[in-house]
Structure 1
């Protein structure tokens, strides 16, 4: 049994095999998010029940009726393909090392999500909430806040990603309300904690892998996500994403038309004292085609204290994790994952 270290502790995986167990999609539930837009209380209550079941049993789900326009998705995928099709030296002009806030381009093998592995076979471009350099939080050294950096001659790329980011912020608000209801809380319970969220958008390019594959070097190694939840768009027809189930087996999470994949992150797991599962996942692109995906990582404000909710602890279930601010937790995970994310960022963050 292989053991993977994550920010929330060790996870067990069965040894060997890169093929996930192929099961019907019903095994990873599909949640209809329409009630969060329609306002019907009874429908919201049913959604909350379904979401709670998905988060406690699986930690991964699909959402449909999310109200994100198809043209926004298509435009962002097209912009990503154009961007990643450029020569490496052009992309390196906006390398993340030129940003104090982990924004910009990262090349193949610069990320290593699984500490037992040898680097991830993808390239990426990251943006987040665009916070001006003269903002008090930026000037105070909260390194996950700051301005985005952009290619100077690709205005359509910037427009596509900024439009997508804005849509994801809106969707995240509705989804966070659903999570609150699933936890038996007031729908707006978390609202004061996300006025200035740590909300990162990535576009990713995975080249195909052929022949025998070393499981220490795949598209993205086994990991759990760091924030509250992740909303992932995958291009149809390309299978790569795999989810670790409770038995330590890999399950395919293939694209479903009209749906996003959503998974619980470490911070939501900490808030819920592990009631909601922060599920380990990985990606292996053996489709024979280039793969592009768009994850959006949503977490609370930098200074929000992430600690077990009162409703998730009792005499028999004491808090499993010490309180930590959202910014400190994500900074610590970035320092362990990204080659370019230096100790200066981690040390600076820990002072706040």
Structure 2
């Protein structure tokens, strides 16, 4: 097997080229963490969750999250809305093209995104939303990156389920942020003041079967690391996610009923001086059926400065990264991966 290198927002990452195949070990290799104790008044129980998160984020970069508290009916309604949207004619979807939104809200067609520059486009279509802010919002008026109204299709019973899921995912994300703080030996509420108006980008994605692709250079989503602090992923029952381990092998991460899949993003890796690793992953749908997923990318407020935490640096291990705002970093990564934004620069 040959070694392939991909570029991430935090530098190059290498993996062994093995086509579209991945090893299939027991899924316990990606740890399962129960977040129900984060609702407990017992600090010792919450600390145990933090320790489990620390171990997962330093050794794997991914974990399953059960006991998260999001009702199943919210998840089911969102998948139902996604099916109805992607069944619309292309013309109706293109009417709210993501190209009309500098904040990346709206519809992205098949091959409209390319997360791995060595590939020929990602074999999925998507609808993107984030905090749904009015035009007269002060940050929208000031042009702060990431703050904008969403674009919505003319489709009954679509906006409601997605905004309900978006709000519920933020509550799940707050629990995870609290656990991250405990894992990093910070006050439990350390991150909460930084997510009062978060870069909370959500997508609903539709993947056709991989057999519709033109060879191995066109897969569901190419090898990449995520941009924000962490991702909360909900998928249907069809396996497609593959995670790159430290040995350079692709490991299957099958869906687990009742659990989200959570992974560290590049911003959290920068914040922790790479103590928490953002892990390269990809999605290849070889099930013979269509696949749907809902990734929720949780970042902090757009103008929050990300600089290496005091608990993650020493004189022997100085900061590897220069400070950058959340908004500037996320924008730079969008500019590098969406076809209509390639070559744009941050103003």
> What TM-score range do you get, normalising by the shorter chain?
over 0.9
> Shift in Å at residue 212 of structure 1?
8.5
Q: Pick one of 28, 33, 39 that aligns with 1:37.
A: 39
Alpha-carbon distance in structure 2 between the residues aligned to 1:115 and 1:197: 28
Q: Which moved more, 1:71-80 or 1:95-104?
A: 95-104
Q: Deviations over 1:306-345 (max 9, x none)?
A: 111011000111111111110000000000011233666x
Alignment match, 2:291:
291
Matches for 1:115-154 after TM superposition, within 5 Å: 115-152=117-154, 154=155
CA distance in 1, matches of 2:192, 2:76: 30
Structure 1 residue 2, shift from structure 2 partner: 0.7
What is aligned with 2:235? 234
1:246 Cα shift? 0.4
Consecutive unaligned residues in structure 2, runs of 5 or more:
none
- Show the counterpart of 2:174: 173
Q: Tell me, what secondary structure is at the counterpart of 1:82?
A: helix
Partner secondary structure for residue 201 of structure 2: strand
Measured against aligned partners, the alpha-carbon deviations of 1:135-175 in whole angstroms (never above 9, x if no partner) come to 221122223111011012x2311111001001011111111
> Is residue 102–residue 341 contact of structure 1 (8 Å, CA) maintained in 2?
no
TM-score norm. by structure 2 comes to 0.97
The whole-number CA distance in structure 2 between the counterparts of 1:276 and 1:143 is 26
The answer as to whether partners of 2:123 and 2:213 remain within 8 angstroms in 1 is no
The secondary structure found in structure 1 opposite 2:339 is coil
User: Structure 1 length normalisation: TM-score?
Assistant: 0.95
Structure 2 counterparts to residues 99-248 of structure 1, below 5 A: 99-152=101-154, 154-210=155-211, 214-236=215-237, 238-248=238-248
Distance in 2 between the 1:164 and 1:241 partners? 21
CA contact (8 A) 1:66 1:171 kept: yes
For 2:156 and 2:193, how far apart are their aligned partners in 1?
33
Distance in 2 (CA, whole Å) between partners of 1:158 and 1:343 is 32
Match of 1:92 in 2: 94
Matches within 5 A, 1:19-98: 19-98=21-100
Between the aligned partners of 1:136 and 1:130, the Cα distance in structure 2 is 13
Aligned counterparts of 1:340 and 1:232: Cα–Cα separation in 2 = 25
Q: How far 1:240 moved relative to its partner? A: 0.4
What residue is the counterpart of 2:321 in the other structure? 321
Q: Deviations over 1:252-300 (max 9, x none)?
A: 0110010000000000000100000100000000000000000000001
Aligned residues: 345
Measured against aligned partners, the alpha-carbon deviations of 1:166-201 in whole angstroms (never above 9, x if no partner) come to 101111111100100010110001122111100011
Distance in 2 (CA, whole Å) between partners of 1:74 and 1:11 is: 36
Listed as ranges, the gaps of 5+ residues in structure 1 are: none
| Partners of 1:79 and 1:138 in 2: CA distance | 27
Per-residue CA shift, 1:64-117, capped at 9, x if unaligned? 011100000011011101110111111111111222321110100010001111
Indicate the SS of the match to 1:230. strand
Q: Deviations over 1:119-144 (max 9, x none)?
A: 10000000001122122211222231
Deviates more, 1:287-296 or 1:187-196: 187-196
Q: 1:69 to 1:82 in 2, by over 3 A?
A: same
* Aligned counterparts of 1:290 and 1:306: Cα–Cα separation in 2: 38
Are the counterparts in 1 of residues 336 and 342 from structure 2 also a CA contact under 8 Å? no
What is the CA–CA distance in structure 2 between the aligned matches of 1:286 and 1:26, rounded to whole Å? 22
Preserved contact between residue 96 and residue 340 of structure 1 (Cα < 8 Å): no
Deviation at 1:54, TM superposition (A): 0.2
